[in-house]
A = this chain, B = another copy of it.
Amino acid sequence: EEDAALDFMSDALAARGWQVDDWTVPMSELAGEPGFCDSGGDLVAIRSVTGTLDAAGSGGKSLILQGHLDVVPEGPAEMWTAPPYDPVIKDGWMYGRGAGDMKSGDTAALFAVDAIRRAGFAPEGRLHYQSVVEEESTGMGALATLARRYRADCVFIPEPTGHTLVRAQVGVVWFKLRVQGKPTHVAYAGTGANAIMGTFQLLTALEELCETYNARAADHPAYKGEEHPVNFNAGKITGGDWASSVPAWCEVDCRMGLLPGWSVEDVKAEIAETVARAAEAHPFLRSNPPDIVWNGFQADGFVLENADAPETALSAAHKSVFGTDGPEDRAFTALTDT
């Protein structure tokens, strides 16, 4: 769905004299890469666009500017004051799905290079500008640039974070709970098992697991000051066919956060164990345990380290623009491409 945006970025880079690499890689070729996430079959290939400006000199540090073009679903239409994909400008701000996250950062980074070049400067080091997709659900767009062997001394991702520097970010595990019920006519509801109500019992247990994670987070070097850094979300649910049939199935798409240093495999095991234990306490699910499908993010957390040189440069830039020290550090409770 991001093809029009990728076309736009490809043209915009070419028009500015960047060498453009516009490529598509089948998901199957990414499957062996570290950090690969399965999308559950929805994704068959990843298209990315990278523009390159060769180093004007020798000895300069290389830099990647990376931003994503994908957006999350727009939610209920009635909660928008204007159609989400018809951006409007009001009081100097643009409103529309993706305007903030992260077309603002994409555009700022591209225009910043324009400004530098128009002022007559040419970066001493090699510069890549990358537009990726899938940042919001698997991170496979960023992975595709690594699989293409793009590397640099520093990567700057201008996600909108309110003038803060993300020094740590959580990992994320996505999963789909598939819960069975025993379908009967509601006239005999007692002989059936309602998959929707059973699902809620499992979600309640996962909320409790999330609270134990937050208790554990109190000792974490990067997150100990944060209130409730680990969040669980039941984000999408669908189940049953008909008001008067005891529902035979229910599915929920869930997200659990994890802190840097925690292992994705450990968290998956704890989620599986929590679901199994909650199912054990349910008369029907005990002998009909739910399935867990791990699709989408299975991503580690991250702590920024060994980045003195770019941090010094960023601080100097911040001071020259805002006149104050900064940017402030942030321990981020979401994740971005890393």
Task: Please give the residue numbers on chain A whose beta carbons come within 8 Å of chain B beta carbons, in ascending order.
Answer: 72-76, 79, 136-137, 170, 172, 174, 183, 185-190, 194, 196-197, 200, 203-204, 207, 227-228, 231-250, 252-255, 257, 296-297, 332-334
Contact = CB atoms under 8 A, between A and B. Distances in A.
B190 A231 contact: yes
30 contacts: A72-B185, A75-B183, A137-B244, A170-B187, A172-B244, A174-B244, A185-B334, A186-B233, A186-B255, A186-B257, A186-B334, A187-B332, A187-B333, A187-B334, A189-B232, A190-B231, A194-B233, A196-B252, A197-B207, A200-B200, A233-B244, A235-B243, A235-B247, A236-B240, A236-B241, A236-B243, A237-B240, A238-B239, A244-B255, A244-B297
A75 B245 contact: yes
B243 A247 contact: no
Contact of A75 (B170, B189, B241, B333): B241
Contacts of A79: 183, 248
Contacts of A297: 244
B72 A249 contact: no
Contacts of A248: 75-76, 79
Nearest to A232: B189
Contacts of A200: 197, 200, 203-204
A73 B172 CA distance: 37
A242 B295 CA distance: 12
B72 A242 contact: yes
Given A75-B245, A196-B252, A235-B247, 12 more contacts: A74-B241, A137-B242, A137-B243, A186-B231, A187-B257, A197-B203, A233-B244, A233-B245, A236-B239, A236-B242, A237-B238, A243-B254
